[in-house]
Amino acid sequence: MRKLEGLARAAVQRYHMIEKGDRIAVGVSGGKDSLVLLCVMAALSRYYPEPFTLHAVTLDMRFGNTDGDFSAIADLCRSLAVPYTIKRTELASVIFDIRKESNPCSLCARMRRGILHDTAKELGCNKLALGHHQDDAAETFLMNLMSGGTIACFSPVTYLSRKDLTMIRPLIYCPEQAVAAAAQREGLPVIKSRCPQDPIGNRNKTKELLKTLGKDYPALTEKILSALQKGQISGW
């Protein structure tokens, strides 16, 4: 975990993600990425030169119209001395039962972001930390290129003027393999996604494409990030 802390601190410092007095909401889905992010941010909060506070937030989509069990995450937050809020929603019912979306991922992502942003503001936070890592950035770049014909990616830091909320992504220098290894090594309480689209979404297809290309083009993910930075694309 120390190596990931170092990579996260490098990203935070390069892109000025944290300032003194920040109150940062950490989006915790229960996946490996968000749990590692929570642990890394909790560690940084103990020694980073710009003091800040954290509040972990989980959105429960309530698949099957039942509350999700996030008790293990609540225990982890207590061990890290990080306040924790679970926001119960009806997202699963709206997307799959009422609207019956055939391609639900885009709508779901927009709705989840909106609720997460509002919840962060309700908790008095001025920033929201998300668990996107190095591989997510490369995948997003390829998805934008192949599906939308645009040279773009999410930004390391994004200010939402309508919400007066800043999104930060401290794990952008962290390879997914290292994140997964840390989650397993630390015994983090990873919760398997209950989303029926999880194994077949567009991002998973892009992930497999990157793996295939990586066999012929070593360090492809790192090269894509380097290109984003050299081209100063999307705030990189």
pLDDT computed for residue 92 by the predictor: 75
Residue 21 neighbours by CB under 8 Å, 6+ apart? 51, 52
Alpha-carbon span 164 to 125, nearest angstrom: 10
pTM of the full predicted structure?
Answer: 0.91
**H or E element in which residue 220 lies:** helix 220-230
Band (61; pLDDT cuts 50, 70, 90): confident
163 alpha carbon, distance to own chain's centre: 19
DSSP tag of 235: G
Nearest CA-CA partner of 117 in 132, 105, 130 = 130
pLDDT average, residue stretch 216-224: 93
Where would I find the H helices in 94-219?
A: 105-122, 134-143, 176-185, 202-216
Instruction: State the amino acid at position 185 in one-letter form.
Output: R
Tens-place pLDDT, residues 169-182: 999 999 999 999 99
Alpha-carbon span 225 to 156, nearest angstrom: 11
Tens-place pLDDT, residues 96-144: 777 666 677 777 788 889 999 999 999 999 999 999 999 999 999 999 9
pLDDT average, residue stretch 38-56: 97
Q: What is the CA radius of gyration of the chain?
A: 17
Domains of the chain: 2-235 (3.40.50.620)
What size, in residues, is the chain? 236
pLDDT computed for residue 99 by the predictor: 66
Contact 78, 71 (CB under 8 A): no
Alpha-carbon span 201 to 147, nearest angstrom: 13
Band (199; pLDDT cuts 50, 70, 90): low
Alpha-carbon span 41 to 28, nearest angstrom: 12
pLDDT computed for residue 140 by the predictor: 93
Contact 41, 129 (CB under 8 A): yes
Is residue 31 over pLDDT 70?
yes
173 alpha carbon, distance to own chain's centre: 13
Residue entry with tokens 């999104």: 167
Q: Three-class SS string for 48-111?
A: CCCCEEEEEEEEECCHHHCCCCCHHHHHHHHHHCCCEEEEECCHHHHHHHHCCCCCCHHHHHHH
